[in-house]
Structure 1
Amino acid sequence: MSLCVEAPTYTILHFQEADCEEPLGSKEKAWVSQGRTQWLFKYPRASGEHWAEKIACEVARRLGLPHAEVELATLQDERGVASKDILAKGESLIHGNELLAAQLPVYDIHKKWRQRQHTLANIWEAIELRVYFCEEAKSIFLGYLLLDALVGNSDRHHENWGFVRGPNCRYRLAQTYDHGSSLGRELTDHSRKQNCRQKILQLGTMEKYVCRARGSVFWVEGEEKAPTPVGLIVHAARDRRYCDYLEPWLDVIGRDFLEDILHEVDRVPEGWMSELARDFVKEMLSCTVKMLGGMLGRW
């Protein structure tokens, strides 16, 4: 049983009971229902994962990317976020690690972090080998990586993308999903250490913070560290294999786009996000747009 209450800002879904728990992933999750619609409710850890995932979803929408529908939600009065099931009847999700293991003989499907074979080139090949409309899918995947750069998502590991296999056994690229590790969600508002929202804003070290986080998609197989999400986009924009596929997404970004995504931050209801966190997220989004524009000579 569920209720849907229209907040003056974002809609908040209210669920009274869980259908079953979801074992995949490191976060506590539960499947819940609203009528015939299934949602995956995620309990946030002691951080801002719930608002981070919602804002990232809205940035994806502003870019025009296919994405999992996400709403702020409560389950038995506990706050979190609910992600609508991306699969239709008869469909199944094949995660990236399964796909890459099928094409790379020594790919370790259990090594989620620092998986040095998890490169853009290998993902590209997986799309070419399996997806029916592969040219469109390649462009969309680069759009996902641009989203990661904008929201600082360092969690695009091989279980956070995949293909949907339909009843006809054709594959399509799945919508982008699971963006909770974004927008400085792991930080606290205040701390004696340098790494808190208040001090990053006071010291003007946002660009340093953005550049410190490494992504999960490698540029060169075997390199010691993956580039940052922003760095990966810069590499792709300068590489003739990828630049034409990335261009349509870069064309979306400009002054109006930044204003639009900053407005999305203001739509998080009062009490669901501190004002300091709100200011931090706005500054971070402004910083990533500015960094990308400067590095690519745009906007």
Structure 2
Amino acid sequence: MTNFFPIIEIPDDAAQAEEAMGTKFKFWFHHPELGNCLFKLARSNTGEDWSEKIAAELARLLGLPHTTYELATWQGQPGVISPSFLPKSTALIHGNDILAGLVSIYPKNQGYKLSQHTITIVLEALKSPGLKSPLNWTPLAGIAEAISTFVGYLLLDAWISNGDRHHENWGFVVQLPEGIPHLAPTYDHASCLGRELLDATRQKRIQYRTIQQYVQKSRSAFYQQESDKQLMLTFDVFAAIAHDYPRSATIWLDQLAKVPLQAVKALFERIPASRISPLALEFGHQMLEINRSRLLHLRKDLN
């Protein structure tokens, strides 16, 4: 018998404060067991709920510090909830504010496809003096710095084809009042696994074996240079940072190699059928197998 992920039902009147950041409807509420939680509504036929849940579970299998997500419903509508990852006396500083502190003319109020959001400037921010690893997380052996942890975030992006690590989807958690910065755990990964595709498209790609072509076109939220017209591919972002940080990349690739393929498929099978179609399940699973193979092929060039 399948052990489905639970679906948490949120009372109709639970909302305490709406969250303005982002494009989806969301609100904060108090859960009696999980504490302060954010509910995010999944828009119709987008798969934003199951993709967010699967991505978080894959981050767990890799050993990454990550936000927890649970399937939920509110007023009969599907979504996910995530308990706040901020400990007491801390604040989250998003990437756009961090980068604006490095470059005074950085357009922090602009959104996606921002050419100033280059992988180079993000790496500079991650080299900030005193930046520590995420709070309440025990780093893997050999992952001593925040930037080494971020290499793992980019591996996750390449594995799941996440195109949404824009400048509000990474950041620092600052301890107050001292102001000690820590890399935030990885969060907000719903734009992945082909969740936006219609089943008719998935069926054709499965039938004609063109999923590899699909994942090879997956674009990130980073530019290589400010003058570039196109975003970098998710795979190329990880390949580039792996070249600069081969030891950290090898550690995270070894983590990926340890994840059993059956454990990955089992995650999809734990999503209730009311939330994911058989074609979405098969398509997402094949994507992960293809990307896993591509990523592990990089190891021979790093040793």
- Equivalents in 1 of 2:255, 2:232: separation in Å? 23
State the SS of the aligned residue for 1:226.
coil
How high is the TM-score relative to the length of structure 1?
A: 0.90
Instruction: State the match for 2:136 in structure 1.
Output: none
The residue type equivalent to 2:211 in the other structure is M
**Contact 1:43/1:79 (8 A) holds in 2:** yes
**Contact 1:40/1:82 (8 A) holds in 2:** yes
The residue type equivalent to 1:170 in the other structure is I
Alignment: residue pair count: 285
**Contact 2:7/2:70 (8 A) holds in 1:** yes
**Contact 1:262/1:285 (8 A) holds in 2:** no
What is the root-mean-square deviation of aligned Cα atoms in Å? 1.8
State the SS of the aligned residue for 1:27.
coil
How high is the TM-score relative to the length of structure 2?
A: 0.88
Larger relative contact order (C-alpha < 8 A, sep ≥ 6)?
2
- Equivalents in 1 of 2:269, 2:145: separation in Å? 33
Deviation at 1:130, TM superposition (A): 4.9
Per-residue CA deviation, residues 4-63 of structure 1 (Å, 9 max, x unaligned), is xxx932122111022222111101111122127011111111210000000000000000
Instruction: State the match for 2:208 in structure 1.
Output: 203
5+ unaligned residues in a row in structure 1: which ranges?
1-6, 191-195
Q: Does 1:27 align with 2:24?
A: yes
Q: Choose the corresponding residue for 1:271, options 271, 274, 285.
A: 274
Question: Which range moves more in the overlay, 24-33 or 124-133?
Answer: 124-133
**Contact 2:175/2:181 (8 A) holds in 1:** yes
State the SS of the aligned residue for 2:182.
strand
- Percent of aligned pairs sharing the same letter: 38
Deviation at 1:143, TM superposition (A): 0.6
Deviation at 1:296, TM superposition (A): 4.4
State the SS of the aligned residue for 1:251.
helix
Instruction: State the match for 1:153 in structure 2.
Output: 162
The residue type equivalent to 1:20 in the other structure is A
- Equivalents in 1 of 2:131, 2:240: separation in Å? 26
The residue type equivalent to 2:206 in the other structure is L
Q: Does 1:89 align with 2:85?
A: no
**Contact 1:131/1:137 (8 A) holds in 2:** no
Instruction: State the match for 1:112 in structure 2.
Output: 111
5+ unaligned residues in a row in structure 2: which ranges?
134-143
**Contact 1:234/1:296 (8 A) holds in 2:** no
Deviation at 1:255, TM superposition (A): 6.3
Instruction: State the match for 2:191 in structure 1.
Output: 181
Question: Which range moves more in the overlay, 150-159 or 245-254?
Answer: 245-254
